[in-house]
Amino acid sequence: MENAQVMNTPMALQQFIAMHTSRIEGYTKAQEHTQDENLKNLFGNLSQQAEQFQKKLMEELTQYGDATHSNVNKENEFFKIWDKAVSDFADKPAFTAAEVCRFVEKTVVETYRITIENTSDLPETTHDTLLSQQTLLEANIEKMTGKPDLENPSEEKKDENVKEQNDQRVAFVQNPALY
């Protein structure tokens, strides 16, 4: 029983480290592909935040010895969907990229929530770190929602991209690897 509990926390930390690796790579690519300066700044800030989160989680993970040497499979569905979402940022209006970005961040927040609720052996410091990161991620979503230049696109532009946005959302929701 003791071994199962010890494995639970490292696996959760590895999941978050992998997600933040993906966020770093994805937002870096998205930053390169967009012409919108507001989005470039947003993606740059999110990438830097992911690097900080990842560093802190790696510090937490070092408490578990060999767990830090495990391989993260970047061929899993989360990375495939993320890469598709990032490639779709190119040639899209700012509101579409921002909408996908908000959805990705909401997915990460939901993953934090589920993991915190379902990982019974989280040490208090790790629990506090995860809650703090979750709160900052939620603040990102609020900031994105409050940006007038990323909101209220014309109805014509909305209609052009609704199906594609919905397809991306469905893919994220249906992907069990996220949870």
Mind listing the pLDDT tens digit for each residue in 22-45? 889 888 988 888 888 888 999 999
Residue range 41-83, pLDDT digits in tens = 999 999 999 999 999 999 998 888 765 555 555 555 455 555 6
- The conformation of residue 74, written as its DSSP 8-state character, comes to T
Alpha-carbon Rg for the chain, nearest whole angstrom, is 17
pLDDT attached to residue 154 = 45
Residue 110 has pLDDT above 70, yes or no: yes
Rounded (10°) CA dihedral 162, 167, 171, 172: 0
User: How sure is the predictor about 156, in pLDDT bands with cuts at 50, 70 and 90?
Assistant: very low
pTM to 2 decimal places = 0.68
pLDDT at 85: 59
Q: Is the pLDDT confidence value at 14 over 90?
A: no
Please name each of the domains of the chain with its CATH number. 2-178 (1.20.1260.10)
